[in-house]
Structure 1
Amino acid sequence: MVIGASGQIGRPVVQALARDGWAVTAASRGGGRDAAWDEGVRTVRLDRADGAALAAVVGDGCDLLVDVVAYDAGHARQVTGLAGRIGSAVVISSVSVYEDGAGRGFDTMGEPDGFPGYPVPVPETQPTVAPGEATYSTRKAALERELLAPGAGLPVTVLRAGAVHGPYSPLPRELYFVRRNLDGRRDRVLAYRGESRFHPASVRNIAELVRLAAARPGSRVLNACDGQAPTVAGIGAAIDAVMGVESRTAYLDGPPAGSVGRTPWSVPGPVVCDMSAAERELGYRPVVSYAESLPETVEWLTGALRGRDWREAFPVLAQAYPDLFDYAAEDAWRAA
């Protein structure tokens, strides 16, 4: 059973498990199905917040429960409460749970000197934020703690995903470059000399990790990222190559100047995760590189923007980055 099956991560997870021979029940709020799924995939409607409904869908039991939308300790307790009816579980968490040992993490990035000093790469043994209800990161930390509490009573693989990318994303970072190219903006500005690295995670690689963990149940925490962490300048160049355009890039030595130079990957230090544990424990090898994954993402984004304002098409992204396309500020910066 896959919870959140119709979302960005859920779609390829269902496809990968079905291809691997699992009889998959795809649960989502709308109960829809993806055209790429095998016809044997069963779909059901499920409100993730309704514990009774979740228990009813699980019914007499399932060999594997995959939860791609679990958010906090309450969701974790819903899963662990079904321990007697679930063989094992795989649950998606986030690399945002990491802190640097000095109390700095994703929640402090906007504060003066608040950017964490992570090791490169970040192993799963890195300290995490205290669990709680205050932020996305603390809620994910609480989710992990509750999920791992049963130990052998319910084998759970927690996958800490990086900057997730692929079609159907509510927060498609690649839009930063795609829309500029569609608008004919051949000049752009990148902060930190374009060297920012925020480890991406293709939905197809996450699905591969789910598939591997399903075949090797266990209680563990693993990073879930691509094989490489390209720079933001490298990402822009790769998107240009897919779209067949050439751009001119100016660089800021330091942070963004207001909105100028800011991208969804712009960080003053690297956020790069260690994938050796997944390789060692699951035999993980990325099924796709970042560059190889881009054509379908670019195609999907281009279609999603056709005839629509980007804020209407991607309200979550617009809320997180309201000045993502402040062309007037960029033009003024160049003129100065």
Structure 2
Amino acid sequence: MVVGATGQIGRAAVGVLARDGWEVTAVSRAGARDEGWPDDVRAVRADREDDAALAAAVGDGCDVLVDMVAYGPEHARQLTSLGDRVGSAVVVSSVSVYEDDKGRGFDTQQEPGGFPEYPVPITEDQRTVRPADTSYSTRKAGLERELLAAGGRLPTTLLRAGAIHGPHCRTPRELYFVKRNLDRRPRRVLAHGGTSRFHPASVHNIAELIRLAAARPGTRVLNAVDPDAPTVAEIARAIDAVMGVESESVLVEGPPPAPTVGDTPWSVPLPVVCDMSAAERELGYRPVVRYAETLPDTVAWIEGRLAGRDWREAYPKMFASYGDLFDYAAEDAFLDTVDA
């Protein structure tokens, strides 16, 4: 059973599991289907916030429950309450639970000197933030703690995903460069010298981890990222190549020169790069795609969503999360100072 089946990871995971021989029940609030799924996938309508509805969807039980949208300790308790009817679980978490050795994490990054200095690469042994109800990161940490403590009742593989990318994403970071190319912007400003690295995670690689974990139940935490962690400048060039354009990257050493200039969704002053050795060792995992290989589908999806629409209408959650990513007037004013 896949909960959150019509989200960007869920769509890929349902297809992979069904093609691997599982009888898959795809649970979503709308009970919809993806056109790429095999015909024998069973679609069920249920809101996971409704305990009774989720329990009814589980019915007499399932061998594996895959949860894309679990968030916070209450969802962990919801899952463990079904432990007598569920063989094991695979639950998506986030690399945002990590903190550095000085207690800095994603929640402190906007503070002066607050960006975490993680080891490169980050292993699953890195310390994590304390569970609380204060943020996305602390609630994901609470989810993890509850599920790991209940491993005897419900063996659970937790997958700490990086910067997720692929079609159907509501906050695609690639939009930053795709829209600039569509708007025929010849130059883009990149802070931190264009060297920022925020480890991406393809929905296809995450789906492969889910497939392997479903067949090997256990209580464990694993990173879930791509085999490569390109710099933001490399990502920009790769998107250019897919779209058949040539653009110039204007590199700025240090932080963005203005609030809406050079601050891409990947822009970080220090690298966030994760290690995948544990997944290779415990699951026999091997990545199925590399970042650049996935870009044609991602770019095509973004272009289709943007066609004839304001980007804020096409991607309202992106606007809510990142603000104005396309303040061309501010960019041009900065570029005028560069050219002076």
TM-score bracket, normalised by the shorter chain, equals: over 0.9
Match of 2:311?
310
Q: Unaligned 5+ residue runs, structure 1?
A: none
**Given the two structures, how large is their TM-score scaled by the length of structure 2?**
0.98
How far does residue 150 in structure 1 lie from its aligned partner after superposition? 1.6
Letter paired with 1:315? P
Distance of 1:321 and 1:60 partners within structure 2: 43
Match of 1:324?
325
How far does residue 322 in structure 1 lie from its aligned partner after superposition? 1.4
Do structure 1's residue 267 and structure 2's residue 268 form an aligned pair?
yes
How far does residue 103 in structure 1 lie from its aligned partner after superposition? 1.3
Match of 2:225?
225
What are the Cα deviations for residues 230-264 of structure 1, in whole angstroms up to 9, with x where unaligned?
Answer: 00000001000100100011110000012111100
Do structure 1's residue 179 and structure 2's residue 162 form an aligned pair?
no
Do structure 1's residue 291 and structure 2's residue 292 form an aligned pair?
yes
Do structure 1's residue 300 and structure 2's residue 301 form an aligned pair?
yes
Letter paired with 1:335? D
Distance of 2:236 and 2:285 partners within structure 1: 27
Q: Unaligned 5+ residue runs, structure 2?
A: none
Alignment of 1:150-189 (within 5 A): 150-189=150-189
Match of 1:132?
132
Match of 1:72?
72
User: Could you say what secondary structure the match of 2:8 adopts?
Assistant: coil
Letter paired with 2:208? E
Match of 1:196?
196
Do structure 1's residue 29 and structure 2's residue 29 form an aligned pair?
yes
User: Could you say what secondary structure the match of 1:164 adopts?
Assistant: strand
Match of 1:207?
207
Letter paired with 1:53? A
Greater displacement, 17-26 / 321-330: 321-330
User: Could you say what secondary structure the match of 2:128 adopts?
Assistant: coil
Letter paired with 1:299? A
How far does residue 152 in structure 1 lie from its aligned partner after superposition? 2.7
User: Could you say what secondary structure the match of 2:93 adopts?
Assistant: strand
How far does residue 329 in structure 1 lie from its aligned partner after superposition? 0.6
Aligned residues between the structures? 336
Distance of 1:167 and 1:36 partners within structure 2: 13
Distance of 1:74 and 1:123 partners within structure 2: 27
Match of 2:244?
244
Letter paired with 1:257? P
Letter paired with 1:39? D
User: Could you say what secondary structure the match of 1:185 adopts?
Assistant: coil
Distance of 1:150 and 1:202 partners within structure 2: 29
Distance of 1:224 and 1:293 partners within structure 2: 16
Match of 2:111?
111
What are the Cα deviations for residues 27-72 of structure 1, in whole angstroms up to 9, with x where unaligned?
Answer: 0001100000000000011111001111111011000000000011
How far does residue 334 in structure 1 lie from its aligned partner after superposition? 1.0
How far does residue 101 in structure 1 lie from its aligned partner after superposition? 2.0
How far does residue 153 in structure 1 lie from its aligned partner after superposition? 2.1
What are the Cα deviations for residues 82-102 of structure 1, in whole angstroms up to 9, with x where unaligned?
Answer: 111001100000000000021
Give percent identity, aligned residues only: 69
Letter paired with 1:245? V
Letter paired with 1:292? E
Distance of 1:301 and 1:11 partners within structure 2: 17
Which 4+ stretches in 1 moved above 6 angstroms? none
| CA-based RMSD | 0.6
User: Could you say what secondary structure the match of 1:151 adopts?
Assistant: coil
Match of 2:52?
52
